[in-house]
Structure 1
Amino acid sequence: MDPVKLQQALDDVFDQALLHHGFTNYMRDYQLVIHATADPRSGITPATLRYLFRHCVQATCTTILPAGTWRTSLDDRLISYETGVDLDGYVWGVNWQELYPGARLITDSPTARTWAAALGIDFHEVRIQANAHDLTLVFSDLQIEELPPEGQGPDHRFPIQ
């Protein structure tokens, strides 16, 4: 995949809602499910997108929440929006994270070069930062598809409708 097109694809979902991330069921590829919206006045219809990072040989996920936030966010009531919304702590139950400060391609990645030499295909490394997780992925290709609209759609858990 062309690095310029890859960075543009990452820029396209800057500051959008990350609904889910993790390996696919067959555990070779890593996916991000993103709800992309724009100002309603723009006329752009919201979409749910799947970013599929193919042949993902490395996926690292770390928290970016400080220990103090974790300390106040251990209550299991925070994993449900309905029971956690009025509590102090990080409300895990909003079921999304903001893709901010966003994603960027790591140019000239030694890890990507090593995998490319070993497998004989191009590899890339990206760093994806959301408001709760910091992801680093090493993969060979990115496929993007629009998913069918979900029955529920965005609700009060999304700040912008």
Structure 2
Amino acid sequence: MDPVKLQQALGDVFDQALLHHGFTNYMRDYQLVIQVNTDPRSGIAPTTLRYLFRYCVQATCTTTVSAETWRGSLDDRLTTYETGVGLDGYVWGVNWQVLYPGATLIADSPTARTWAAALGLDFHEVRIEANAHDLTLVFSDLQIEELPSERTGPHYKFPIE
């Protein structure tokens, strides 16, 4: 994939809602499910996109939530919005996080170069920062698809894929 097109695709979801991330059920590719919102006054409905990072050979996920916030957010009631909204602590149950500061393509990544040489394919490394997780992915290709509308909205529960 062309690095310029890759960076553009990553920039297109800056400051949008990350609804789900993780490996697919066949565990080769890594996916982000992102809700792209517009100004409600525009009349344009939100769109849900699946960013599929193909041939993902490395996925690292760390928390961006501070230890102090974690300490105050261990109550299981915080994992459901309805029971956690009135409590002190990080409400995990909002079921999304903002893609901010967003995604950055790591130029001239040694890890990507190593995998490219080993497999004979182009590889890329990207860092994706959100308000609860910091992801680093090493992958060969990115496919983007729009998901059906039933996969949108705050009450949709994502199956493990």
Q: Give the structure-1-normalised TM-score.
A: 0.93
Partner of 2:94: 94
Distance 1:106 1:45, change over 3 A: same
State whether structure 2 residue 127 is matched by structure 1 residue 104: no
Partner of 1:32: 32
Distance 1:45 1:77, change over 3 A: same
Structure 2 unmatched ranges of 5 or more: 156-161
Displacement after TM superposition at 1:154 (Å): 3.9
Which amino acid in 1 is paired with 2:21? H
Which amino acid in 1 is paired with 2:68? G
Partner of 1:15: 15
Structure 1 unmatched ranges of 5 or more: 156-161
Distance 1:46 1:67, change over 3 A: same
Partner of 2:46: 46
* 1:5-154 pair list within 5 angstroms: 5-150=5-150, 153-154=153-154
Taking the aligned partners of 1:52 and 1:110, their CA distance within structure 2 comes to 22
Which amino acid in 2 is paired with 1:37? N
Which amino acid in 1 is paired with 2:131? N
Q: Give the structure-2-normalised TM-score.
A: 0.93
Taking the aligned partners of 1:61 and 1:78, their CA distance within structure 2 comes to 21
Distance 1:43 1:69, change over 3 A: same
Which amino acid in 2 is paired with 1:62? T
Taking the aligned partners of 2:41 and 2:152, their CA distance within structure 1 comes to 22
Which amino acid in 2 is paired with 1:57? V
Displacement after TM superposition at 1:46 (Å): 1.0
Equivalent pairs, count: 155
Displacement after TM superposition at 1:43 (Å): 4.0
Give the percent of matched residue pairs that are identical in Structure 1 and Structure 2.
84
Taking the aligned partners of 1:8 and 1:95, their CA distance within structure 2 comes to 26
Which amino acid in 2 is paired with 1:125? E
Q: Retained in 1: the 8 A contact 2:48–2:151? A: no
